[in-house]
Amino acid sequence: MIIKSLEHLSLISKKIADYLSEEDLIFLIGEIGVGKTTLTRNIINYLQKKQDIQQTEVLSPTFNLLYEYAFKNLKLMHYDLYRIKDTKELDQLGIFNEDVNSVKIIEWPELIKKNVLDKLELHLSYSSKENERNLILKKYGKWKNFSIDEL
């Protein structure tokens, strides 16, 4: 499908946010600057607003690798693995060791080989128009029933 604008991305982000629950894994796949952090920021700020939690800055975890956000019903871990170069470095991060219940949204997840039941993969790519993006969803587990076709 096509994401037509930032407003359309915002609607998509909200629908994903409303569907999130413990142990979900979201993979954000696509080139530099395609919109992975923007989508994550939308999700986090939307949940903060919905739960009456103060809205925070949502920075890219490019250098920190991880930023955590606490919500009433769940904890959300936002990873950016761009700087992780091999599986040894990946294992040291222990993404799946602690906080098994947390939601994990991961940019540049290509090195992750672990299979998780409930996973949504978003494949983003540039389109010819500046504010448009192509999006392909790959759905696993509970996400098989999830659709954004009507948005």
Ligand X SMILES: Nc1ncnc2c1ncn2[C@@H]1O[C@H](COP(=O)(O)OP(=O)(O)OP(=O)(O)O)[C@@H](O)[C@H]1O
Interface with Mg ion by CB under 5 A: which residues?
Answer: 36-37, 60, 107
Report the residue number, 21 or 125, with the smaller CB distance to ligand X: 125
Q: Enumerate residues 28-67 that contact ligand X by CB under 6 A.
A: 30, 32-38, 60
Q: Is the distance from CB of 115 to CB of 140 less than 8 angstroms?
A: no
- Residue partners of 84: CB distance under 8 A and separation at least 6: 65, 90, 93, 108, 111
Distance CA 151, CA 148 (A): 6
Burial class of 137 by CB neighbour count within 10 A (0 to 12, 13 to 18, 19+)? middle
Stretch touching ligand X by CB under 6 A, among 2-10, 50-58, 86-94, 115-123: 2-10
Report the residue number, 11 or 141, with the smaller CB distance to ligand X: 11
Q: Is the distance from CB of 23 to CB of 118 less than 8 angstroms?
A: yes
Burial class of 53 by CB neighbour count within 10 A (0 to 12, 13 to 18, 19+)? middle
Our finding on whether 6 is near ligand X (CB under 6 A) is: yes
Q: Pick what 118 binds: ligand X, Mg ion, none; C-beta below 5 to 8 Å, kind-dependent.
A: none
Our finding on whether 125 is near ligand X (CB under 6 A) is: no
Q: Pick what 5 binds: ligand X, Mg ion, none; C-beta below 5 to 8 Å, kind-dependent.
A: ligand X
SS3 74: coil
Of all residues in this chain, which one has the CB nearest to ligand X in the complex?
35
Q: Which residues here bind ligand X, judged by CB under 6 A? A: 3, 5-6, 9, 30, 32-38, 60, 80, 107, 131-133
